[in-house]
Structure formats: C-alpha cells, structure tokens
C-alpha cells in the first residue's frame, strides 16, 4: 500500500483521544508563542528585518560562505564542504576513524537527521547517543522525530515511562515527569563524561567572525562540546548570517516563535577550538543550491527551524508528524521535500487547506502557503498526479469555462440530486462519507434573477 499523507492522517485520527491531546498540546505551544510575541510591539518589524537579512544573505550566499570559511579557518576551525548527505556522513566517519573514537554524543541537528547520519554510522558499527531529551526518547524507541523542535511530542508521559523502564530500568508505572527527567539526566551524564566526540548542529553561523551559535534549552550541546576532545558542528549552507549584530534580531525571534520563551536557555557562541580540542565544521549543500535556483521556492531557505508553522498548522496538529512520511515533517517539510524527491513527496503540498496561518506566524516571513500552491502546479506539470485526477480536471475545466454548458450541467446535476439523491449518496463519493450533500434547490440564482430582474 502506498502511504500517503491522507491515509496516514486517517489512521492517526482514528484514535480521537490521542489526536485531541496532540492538537491541544501543540495549540498550547502556539498560545505561549502568541503571548510572548504580543509583549513586543516591534514584533512585525523584527520579522521584516529578519526576512530582509535572510533575503540579502541568500542573494550573495557564496560570498558570505567564503568569508565565513576564511574567518573560521583563521580561528583554527577545520572547515569541510559536503555536496550531499553521503559526503557529509563520510567526512564525519573519517574523523571518527582518524581518532579511533568509540563514544559519540550528538545534540539536536535536523541536518544530521536529514542526512540519516545515525543510520549510516550504525551500519559501520558506530553508536551515536542523542542527548536532547526528546531525541533520546525517540532514539530509544527507534522512531524518527515527529517534530523538529519537540521530537517526542507525539508521546504521552506514560509511553515515555514505559520506554525508560525498558531501557533505563526506571520503576514500572512511575510517570512522574520529574522522576523520568532525572533518570534521563543521570543516564546522559555518564554518556557525556565518556564522550570523545560531540556532534552538534548550528543555528547561526556569522560570516564576519567565523563563529557560530547553538541554541538549546537543555545545555546538552555545550556539555558535549566542552567535554569531548573533538567537536563537529554540521550546518546547511543557509545558516549563514552576515554580521554578529544580526543575532540581535534572530535570537529574539527564534525562541519566542518556538516555545514562547524570550530566549533559549543556552545560546552558546563558539569561536575557536578550546585548548587541546579539535573543532570541525561541515558545511552541507544536499539540494539547497538547487532550491536556491528555484525562484518561486528559494526563500524557504530563510527558515530558522523554529517550528512555529508546525504548531499553528491545524493539519499538522490533527494528523501528527509521521503522516508526512519524511524526516522534515509539517508544513515546512511539505515545501522542502518536493525539491529533493518530488515523486515521494507529491502528496505533501496537497496536505493543506491553504489557510495561510503558517505564513503569518513565520518569524522570517516565508510565504509557506503560497509555496504549497506553487508546488501543486509544479507537481502536476511534472506529471506526478493520477490519471483519474487529470481527466477529472479536464472535464471540470471544460464545463466551467463554457457558460451554457455549465448551466446545462448544473441543471442536470441539481435535477439528479433532487430526484435521485441516493445517486450521489454512495460510498464512492468521499464528501458523503461523513457529510450530507447540500440540498439541491429547484432553481439556480441565475434562474431566479431572470424571473425577478427589474
């Protein structure tokens, strides 16, 4: 069976209690975000600045990337370039081999998720411990994250408790969040102490300084990077910002949009390797420059991965991350994934009502819902659409563009509905599955108008 968003969503919704809980939990995050942004009268100005800074940067990306590389090297950072996921993984593997590293910790990085780094290293017999609490939970369960900021948001504390009981030997049936968090803390503490390599993501890389910033709430990126002898930071080419002072815009937007906090608990600046340490940066393309070349879609590279568009999206809230069947889920995944694999993601831009909430919540003003609309056009033009739908559209457009034909079929349609309502009230009509058909009036508005015209 082909797994489409619609089919997976239907499966998710079948559990109403879980769906409602998922919806409520994420709506709560959205409300926290609302509360936080309403404390800043300048919010819309900040969004506009962030958008412009990113637009500007994307327009001269190669220059800023070179500037960054040069400054980073001067700071003693080893800079690597990776054209795709495969190369990114290979670079990291090489560093691991060179130092004969056994113990690896990794803090949250959607890029390594995108590149399937853990799986790659696993196949080589190397284990990576995810140290973000949510990520560790899903890692133990052998699940992918369902949300880019809250990876385990699809799980209730009871499920976490069962997982921890199984893998961390916590008490069976103890669901107390504080107890469970403490258990995770103790478990991860030993991993940190033993670690020889810390892999992290990058939130912002500053061209003018050659340094970068990592934002976390748990401090796990810092803990890893400070203990391990080697630190590898992985970033997509779009993470660049030109100046350090631009952080003043982005750091204010990021945490408020993500969780409603004024700022993440840790916003850590890395400039150079610590004494006796090695610091690497892997700069990854993996389809981004192709994206940059798509005029209608390039500005999705402005994304700062706050996930506000996930939390606001009613489709996401009520269908869960896994219904997007890809590593980047939600509305963001729906506009990013078709770039790299259009066939596999052909259903995703259609998993939206185009309500537009995402575009207005987005702190960097990405026109998400307009891109969803445009992707639909591209997907149809490239032929990733069923023949049935194509024929259907041909007929509809034929009828609707010919007024007399339209009136005739409308009349015929209404007549059929009135006389034989069961004709349409059948299982083949998805509308009718859980909805009544509109009642068919005797006359159309036009019929009425012709009779009552002054």
Partner 1 sequence: MKVALFIPCYIDQFYPQVGIATLQLLKRLGCRVSFPLQQSCCGQPMANSGFATRSKGCDNNFIDNFKHFDYIVAPSGSCVLHIKEHLKSETHPEEAAHIRGTIYELCEFLTDILQVEYIKASFPYKVGWHNSCHGQRGLYLSSMSETVSPEFSKPERLLNMVRGLHLSIPRRKDECCGFGGIFCISEEALSVKMGTDRIKEHELNEVDYISSADVSCLMHIEGILKRNKNNIKTIHIAEILNSKL
What phi-psi label fits residue 354: left (phi over 0), alpha (psi between -120 and 50 degrees) or beta?
A: left
Decide if residue 379 touches ligand SF4 (CB under 6 A): no
Q: Which of 172, 353, 416, 423 binds partner 1 (CB under 8 A)?
A: 353
In the region spanning residues 303 to 322, those forming contacts with partner 1, defined by CB under 8 A, are: 312, 314-315, 318-319
Would you call 308 exposed, middle or buried from its count of C-beta atoms within 10 A (0-12, 13-18, 19+)? buried
Q: Which of 18, 43, 156, 294 binds partner 1 (CB under 8 A)?
A: 43
Short-list 219, 204, 224, CA closest to 274: 224
Q: Decide: 304 and 253 in contact? Cβ < 8 Å.
A: yes
Q: Which of 85, 251, 309, 328 binds ligand SF4 (CB under 6 A)?
A: 309
* CA–CA dist 374, 371 (Å, integer): 5
Decide if residue 284 touches ligand SF4 (CB under 6 A): no
Q: Which is nearer to ligand SF4, 128 or 368 (CB)?
A: 368
Decide if residue 332 touches ligand SF4 (CB under 6 A): yes
Q: Which of 155, 198, 228, 306 binds ligand SF4 (CB under 6 A)?
A: 306
Give the x/- contact pattern for partner 1 in 20-39, rule: CB under 8 A. Answer: x--x---x------x--xx-
Q: Which of 197, 303, 315, 379 binds ligand SF4 (CB under 6 A)?
A: 303
Q: Which is nearer to partner 1, 141 or 376 (CB)?
A: 376
In the region spanning residues 413 to 432, those forming contacts with partner 1, defined by CB under 8 A, are: 413-414, 430-431
Decide if residue 406 touches partner 1 (CB under 8 A): yes
Two tokens, residue 367: 């026109």
Q: Which is nearer to ligand SF4, 131 or 357 (CB)?
A: 357
**Choices 62-70, 94-102, 185-193, 403-411; region in contact with partner 1 by CB under 8 A:** 403-411
Q: For tokens 């590279």, what's the residue?
A: 301
In the region spanning residues 418 to 437, those forming contacts with ligand SF4, defined by CB under 6 A, are: none
Decide if residue 394 touches partner 1 (CB under 8 A): yes
CB of 138 to partner 1, least distance (A): 24
DSSP 60-97: THHHHHHHHHHHHHHTT-EEEEESSHHHHHHHHHHHHH
Q: For tokens 């981004």, what's the residue?
A: 288
Q: Which is nearer to ligand SF4, 140 or 292 (CB)?
A: 292
DSSP 346-395: TTGGGS-----HHHHH-TT---HHHHHHHHHHHHHHTT-S-HHHHHHHHH
For Cα atoms 439, 442, 446, give the angle at the middle one, nearest 5 degrees. 105
Q: Decide: 224 and 268 in contact? Cβ < 8 Å.
A: no
Q: Which is nearer to ligand SF4, 213 or 361 (CB)?
A: 361
Decide if residue 363 touches ligand SF4 (CB under 6 A): yes
3-state DSSP assignment of residue 275: coil
**Choices 2-10, 301-309, 400-408, 419-427; region in contact with ligand SF4 by CB under 6 A:** 301-309
Give the x/- contact pattern for ligand SF4 in 241-280, rule: CB under 6 A. Answer: ----------------x-----------------------
**b/e per residue, 229-261, with b = 16+ CB within 10 A?**
ebbbbbbbbbbbbbeeebbebbbbbbbbbbbbe
Q: Decide: 29 and 259 in contact? Cβ < 8 Å.
A: yes
Q: Which is nearer to ligand SF4, 105 or 361 (CB)?
A: 361
Decide if residue 41 touches partner 1 (CB under 8 A): yes
């Amino acid at each position: 069976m082909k797994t489409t968003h619609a089919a997976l969503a239907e499966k998710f919704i079948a559990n109403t209690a879980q769906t409602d809980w998922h919806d409520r939990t994420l709506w709560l995050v959205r409300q926290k975000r609302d509360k936080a942004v309403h404390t800043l009268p300048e919010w819309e100005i900040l969004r506009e600045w962030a958008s412009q800074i990113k637009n500007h940067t994307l327009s001269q990306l190669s220059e800023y990337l070179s500037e960054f590389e040069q400054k980073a090297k001067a700071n003693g950072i080893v800079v690597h370039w990776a054209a795709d996921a495969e190369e990114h993984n290979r670079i990291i593997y090489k560093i691991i081999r060179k130092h004969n590293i056994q113990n690896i910790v990794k803090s949250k990085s959607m890029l390594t998720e995108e590149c399937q780094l853990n799986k790659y290293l696993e196949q080589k017999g190397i284990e990576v411990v995810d140290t973000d609490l949510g990520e560790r939970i899903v890692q133990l369960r052998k699940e992918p994250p369902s949300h880019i900021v809250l990876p385990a948001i699809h799980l209730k504390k009871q499920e976490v408790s069962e997982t921890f009981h199984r893998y961390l030997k916590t008490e069976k049936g103890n669901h107390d969040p504080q107890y469970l968090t403490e258990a995770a803390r103790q478990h991860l503490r030993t991993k940190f102490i033993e670690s020889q390599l810390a892999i992290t993501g990058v939130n912002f890389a500053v061209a003018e300084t050659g340094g970068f910033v990592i934002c976390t709430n748990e401090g796990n990126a810092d803990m890893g990077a400070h203990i391990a002898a080697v630190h590898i930071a992985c970033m997509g080419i779009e993470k660049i910002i030109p100046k350090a002072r631009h952080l003043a815009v982005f750091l204010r937007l990021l945490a408020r949009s993500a969780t409603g906090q004024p700022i993440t608990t840790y916003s850590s600046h890395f400039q150079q390797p610590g004494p006796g340490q090695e610091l690497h940066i892997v700069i990854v393309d993996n389809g981004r420059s192709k994206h940059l070349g798509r005029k209608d879609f390039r500005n999705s590279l402005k994304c700062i991965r706050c996930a506000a568009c996930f939390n606001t999206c009613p489709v996401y809230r009520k269908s869960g991350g896994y219904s997007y069947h890809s590593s980047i889920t939600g509305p963001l995944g729906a506009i990013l994934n078709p770039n790299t694999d259009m066939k596999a993601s052909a259903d995703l831009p259609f998993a939206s009502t185009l309500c537009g909430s995402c575009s207005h919540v987005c702190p960097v003003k990405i026109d998400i819902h307009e891109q969803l609309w445009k992707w639909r056009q591209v997907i149809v033009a490239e032929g990733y659409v069923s023949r049935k739908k194509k024929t259907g559209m041909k007929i509809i457009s034929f009828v609707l563009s010919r007024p007399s034909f339209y009136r005739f079929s409308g009349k015929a349609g209404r007549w059929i509905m009135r006389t034989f309502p069961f004709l349409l009230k059948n299982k083949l009509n998805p509308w009718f599955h859980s909805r009544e058909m509109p009642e068919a009036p005797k006359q159309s508005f036009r019929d009425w108008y012709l009779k009552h015209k002054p």
